[in-house]
Amino acid sequence: LDRSYGESQKNKRAKVLVNPHSGKGSAEKWYHRDIEPLLKAARVKIDMQKTEYRGEAIEISEKLDIEAYDMIVSCSGDGLPHEVFNGLGKRPDAKKALSKIAVVQLPCGSGNAMSCNLNGTDSASLATLAIIKGIPTPLDLISITQGQTRTLSFLSQAVGIVAESDLATENLRWMGAARFTYGFLVRLLDQMMYPCDIAIKVAIDDKPSIREHYRREQNNHEPASERRGYKHLLDDDASASSGNEDGLPPLRYGTINDKLPEDWEVIHYDNLGNFYCGNMGYMAADANFFSPALPNDGFMDLVTIDGDVSRIAALRMMFAVETGKFFDIPLVRYRKVLGFRLTPRNQADGYISIDGERVPFEPFQAEIHKGLGTVLTK
């Protein structure tokens, strides 16, 4: 039996959060039917709590006794893990908490990108098996500054067609995942444009170099036993001796309220159709927007697309997302970046999505922190 765990930790201790509001409202049913029996069979120590309001997972994670748990498991969409990262990030010992506690999603929502990327599936039971065998692995996290706030993003930042398709279709929740596709198609056919000023700290600018970077990083993939999180778990003293109480790392490029760094590329983008920045490849089960993305290469993958491309070209792009060939389309401008600033123009109101959650339609800045968070994956 012991060997069936492979290299993963046995008897993991889980703070389990179930969001009864996720997806079509079935999270609780799925938890009891597909998730809990497997966790119990694997002797995971379970402490389950249903979230009662938006933002509660932030509070729970901020106050959690991190010595008593190995992971926080969200039975939800991507909204709850977003809150969990932010709760851990608010602690005085944020750095330690984010490296000690693995943040896990078991897919029960309408957007389950985290599980698609890290568990390789959006089936709740298969994902449960994956996390039972999962190995702690670092994940890049992104600091977002907007107004006077600083928050963490683990998945994506979107302005334009993708943000609207996701956020402006809340009323179509009953459609499940299809609401994204529907919202996307409607706006695509309208050739919607979202004029913005953007500034980018570019790391890799052209597709051949991005391909090469991806190949090199894939080959350097650390074996499970070499990863930070794994060593950390094997050696109980490691966490005690490292015992630092540091909060979040300082911002290298300042905040949205500071002067723009001089070496950032500035684009006055009048005909922007889609600004989409991702930290992992899949944004849904069949939506591989960022095929060269790596969860801890220290870069965000940034896609920009003009809003005035022909409808036929736009439809072709949409189908290429499903087949994983999106990256290769010439109309898809692709960069690896370390940071960016986005300032919307000429629009009274619109949609900005951070990890699928709506934030105010105001300028914001992003910068990446390599391997700041911890997740479970194979």
Q: Which residues bind Mg ion (CB under 5 A)?
A: 294, 297, 299
The residue at minimum Cβ distance from Mg ion is 297
Report how far residue 105's alpha carbon sits from residue 223's, in angstroms, rounded to the nearest whole number. 23
| Contact flag: residue 87 with ligand ADP (CB under 6 A) | no
Alpha carbon 177 to chain centroid, angstroms? 17
Element (H, E) at 100: helix 94-100
Q: Report DSSP state, residue 173.
A: G
Q: 284 or 302, CB closer to Mg ion?
A: 302
Which of 14, 31, 34, 77 contacts ligand ADP by CB under 6 A?
A: 77
Tokens of 296: 């801890």
Choose the contact partner of 299 out of Mg ion, ligand ADP, none; CB within 5 to 8 A by kind: Mg ion
Among 8, 9, 61, 76, indicate the residue that binds ligand ADP (CB under 6 A): 76
Taking the complex as a whole, the smallest distance from the CB of residue 358 to ligand ADP amounts, in Å, to 9
Contacted entry of ligand ADP, Mg ion, none for residue 297, CB cut-off 5 to 8 Å set by kind:
Mg ion
Give the whole-angstrom CA distance, residue 47 versus residue 120: 25
The verdict on 83 binding ligand ADP (CB under 6 A) reads yes
**Exactly one of 87, 89, 109, 373 binds ligand ADP (CB under 6 A); which one?**
109
Binders of ligand ADP in range 2-41 (CB under 6 A): 19-23
* H runs (alpha helix) in 220-375: 228-234, 236-242, 311-323
Select from 318, 322, 331 the least CA-distant residue to 281. 322
By beta-carbon proximity to Mg ion, the closer residue of 107 and 138 is: 138
Q: Does 183 bind ligand ADP (CB under 6 A)?
A: no
Cβ contacts of 108 within 8 Å, gap of 6 or more:
18, 19, 22, 23, 26, 27, 30, 31, 75, 76, 77, 124
| Residues acting as catalytic residues | 78
User: Are 165 and 189 a contacting pair, CB within 8 Å?
Assistant: no
In whole angstroms, give the CA distance from residue 79 to residue 55: 10
| Choice between 108 and 294, CB closer to Mg ion | 294
Is residue 79 part of the contact set for ligand ADP (CB under 6 A)?
A: yes
Among ligand ADP, Mg ion, none, what does residue 355 contact (CB within 5–8 Å per kind)? none
- Name the site residues for ligand ADP (rule: CB under 6 A): 19-23, 51-55, 76-80, 83, 109-111, 357
